Chain A
Amino acid sequence: MPPKSQLCLLAALAVAGVATAFAGRMDPYFLDVLLSVGVSVVLAASLNLINGFTGQFSLGHAGFMAVGAYTAATLTKTLGAKLLPLVGGQPWVLLPLALFAGGLTAALAGFLVGAPSLRLKGDYLAIVTLGFGEIIKVILQNVEFVGGALGLNGLPTTLNPAWSGVIVFATLAAPMLTVYVVWGLLNSTYGRGFLAVADDEVAAEAMGLNTTRYKITAFVVGAFFAGVAGGLYAHIKGTLTPGGFDFNKSIEIVVMVILGGMGRHVGVILAAVLLTVLSETLRKFGDYRMILYSLLLIVLMLTRPQGLFTWPLWKRKAA
């Protein structure tokens, strides 16, 4: 008998499967928002592991997302004609592999960025990840293989009947897997170490915790899921440009984590859902969208600095 948490995950995946079966009958706009929400939850829950639970401050999530997006898109589009026959012409095999590869390259990038900067105390991580995001953008703009400044076009999307099912399922399943992984990592004696590092690094070291290793683990796992989210994003939008993964995108995710109450599972998921739906709804206001969105954020931050959904029910606590 698997533990309750794994049964919950299986049930959630089953729901994702059922939803996928009905995706064809959904209103396209609704489906679009639903998929965006899926990507946002993956991004917010994984950044929450780094910034919320482990107490670090990363501004690099859009950068890792870009790494994953371009890796996955290269595998399904640029190399797709060669790779697809190798997996029996099955997008159901190729897409998960491409997403996984996107996650791995993002995780590798996360390790290269995190390992040197997480050894140091203080705000180095924020500065280094900020720089990393910009560097990735510039690199992508100058590599012709991935389309340079124009980016990549014509990726398989939900409009392609052969790909639609797997894209929808993966986008609905990924947030559930991400939440399970983050929850599982934290809910063990080992995992309480992440929270201890966030609370007091000096005391954590004194209790025998390798704080550097904890921080790097959180960072690399977070980067992995940002990469997966990037891969999903690529196959929802169908086009990728380096400019799409700028500083604003990183900030958007940071805001979800802050409004979710930093280091709260449910709060951050709800904040990701709410802000994504809001931002999609505001599209009809055209250019005023960003102003309205920013104003709203200011009001929310001023009135609920502790997070939108912070009441005892969802207090961070042992399960």
Chain B
Amino acid sequence: MFMTTPLLQLTDVTIRFGGLTAVSGVSATVGERELVGLIGPNGAGKTTVFNLITGVYQPTEGRIEFAGEPTAKLRPFELTERGIARTFQNIRLFPSLTVFDNVRVAFHLHLAHDAVHSLTRGPKFQREEVELRERTRELLSIFSLERVQEEPAKSLSYGDQRRLEIIRALATRPKLLLLDEPAAGMNPAEKVELMKLIQFIQEKFRLAILLVEHDMKVVMGICQRIHVLEYGRKIAEGTPAEIRANPAVIAAYLGKEHA
């Protein structure tokens, strides 16, 4: 139980697309600096929950609060401003921009310069640009991506594109980072390495992370708490040990893998 209000709180959130109820009465929380898993079979509604949290969709019913403030009617960029960043399941980098610019542009929220300064190009503007270059390079070095910083993002390998997406999200200085299957398409060794880095990032940047990942071993290994969705409903919540022992989860999710 939380002593204070959790960082993120979903209360009875429902969204319908025409006749389809993609998410149905889901309540869930993520606390400050907590690493929480969100799991469930294909089509369970995990990505839709991300889209609801980030303001891409508005819930049909229910409430979402971030840092104690209701998020209804806020546009995605306003939620990013408040501290929510994300990656996308189907990778949405800026493909024609360089690796470097993909990250640099995400510092946008914290810029002191704007259109006018881009034209006057005074000393303050130039100092900020130099500093941003430094900070961009620092972030890129987390995943050793500075060696390809001048390549267009679309030329990176699939795995590097996913890593770049995480770095880009970090540049917005989030309090909460939503990762939608960040290890998809990676081999087991790469997965282990990525999960270590996710833990490292969480520590270093003092983040809360909500992680969607299909690989049970991975989720159980690093998450403090796990929410389980099935057909848009939340069927369980608990520590990895509790989830592993939960009969509904075994039937809905693990059961299929172990069958």
Contacts of A195 in B (CB 8 A): 94, 96-97, 101, 105
**Interface residue range, chain B:** 35 or more
Q: For B56, what are the chain A residues with a Cβ–Cβ distance below 8 Å?
A: 202
One of B77, B94, B119 near A184 (C-beta < 8 A): B119
In the complex the two chains form, is B96's CB within 8 Å of A208's CB? no
- Write out the residue numbers on chain B whose beta carbons fall within 8 Å of the beta carbon of A203: 88, 92-94
* A280-291 Cβ-contact flags toward B at 8 Å (1 or 0): 000000000000
Residues of chain A within 8 A of B107, CB atoms compared = 189
| Contact of B80 with A206 in the complex, beta carbons under 8 Å | yes
**Is A199 a contact partner of B121 (Cβ separation < 8 A)?**
no
Given contacts A200-B94, A208-B106, whether A185 and B115 have CB atoms under 8 Å apart is: yes
Tell me how far the C-beta of B67 lies from the nearest C-beta in chain A, rounded to whole angstroms: 16
B197 within 8 A of A: no
Is A121's CB within 8 Å of the partner chain B? no
For the complex, is B241 an interface residue (Cβ under 8 Å from A)? no
Shortest C-beta distance, A313 to chain B (Å), equals 15
A80 contacts B by Cβ under 8 Å: no
CB-CB < 8 A to B65: which residues of A? none
Interface majority SS on A: helix, strand, loop or mixed? helix
Q: B105 near A184 (CB under 8 angstroms)?
A: no
Whether the pair A318, B118 counts as a contact (CB closer than 8 A) is no
- A-contact bits for B130-141, CB 8 A (1 contact / 0 none): 001000000000
With A189-B132, A210-B77, A217-B115 in contact, is A318–B109 under 8 Å at CB? no
Query: What is the distance, in angstroms, from A269's C-beta to the closest C-beta of chain B?
Result: 19
Residues of chain B contacted by A204 (CB below 8 angstroms): 77, 94, 105
The one of A184, A188, A198, A202 in contact with B92, judged by C-beta atoms closer than 8 angstroms, is A202
| Chain A residues, CB < 8 A from B118 | 184-188, 190-191
User: In this assembly, does A211 line the interface, its C-beta being within 8 Å of a C-beta of chain B?
Assistant: yes
A201 to chain B, nearest CB (A): 10
Tell me if B246 is interfacial: C-beta within 8 Å of chain A. no
Which residues of A (64-96) have their CB < 8 Å from a CB of B?
A: none
* CB of B124 within 8 Å of the partner chain: no
**Which A residues are CB-close (under 8 A) to B75?**
205, 210
B94: chain A residues at CB < 8 Å are 195-196, 199-200, 203-204
A102 at the interface (CB under 8 A from B): no
Whole-angstrom distance between the alpha carbons of A206 and B113 in the complex? 20
CB distance from B219 to the nearest CB of A (A): 23
Task: Please list 15 pairs of residues, one from A and one from B, whose beta carbons are closer than 8 Å in the complex, sorted by A's number.
Answer: A185-B115, A188-B113, A188-B117, A190-B115, A196-B97, A198-B96, A199-B94, A200-B94, A203-B94, A205-B80, A206-B77, A206-B80, A206-B86, A207-B105, A207-B108
Could you list which residues of chain B lie within 8 angstroms of chain A, going by C-beta atoms?
54, 56, 75-77, 80-81, 85-86, 88, 92-98, 100-101, 104-109, 111, 113-115, 117-119, 121, 125-126, 128-129, 132, 150, 168-169, 171-172
Interface contacts beyond A200-B95, A202-B56, A210-B77: sample of 20 additional A-B pairs, CB < 8 Å, sorted by A: A180-B119, A181-B119, A186-B118, A191-B118, A193-B108, A195-B96, A200-B92, A202-B92, A203-B92, A203-B93, A204-B94, A206-B76, A206-B77, A206-B80, A206-B85, A206-B86, A208-B80, A208-B172, A316-B96, A317-B98
The 8 closest A-B pairs by CB, nearest first: A208-B80, A188-B118, A199-B94, A203-B92, A205-B76, A208-B109, A192-B105, A207-B106
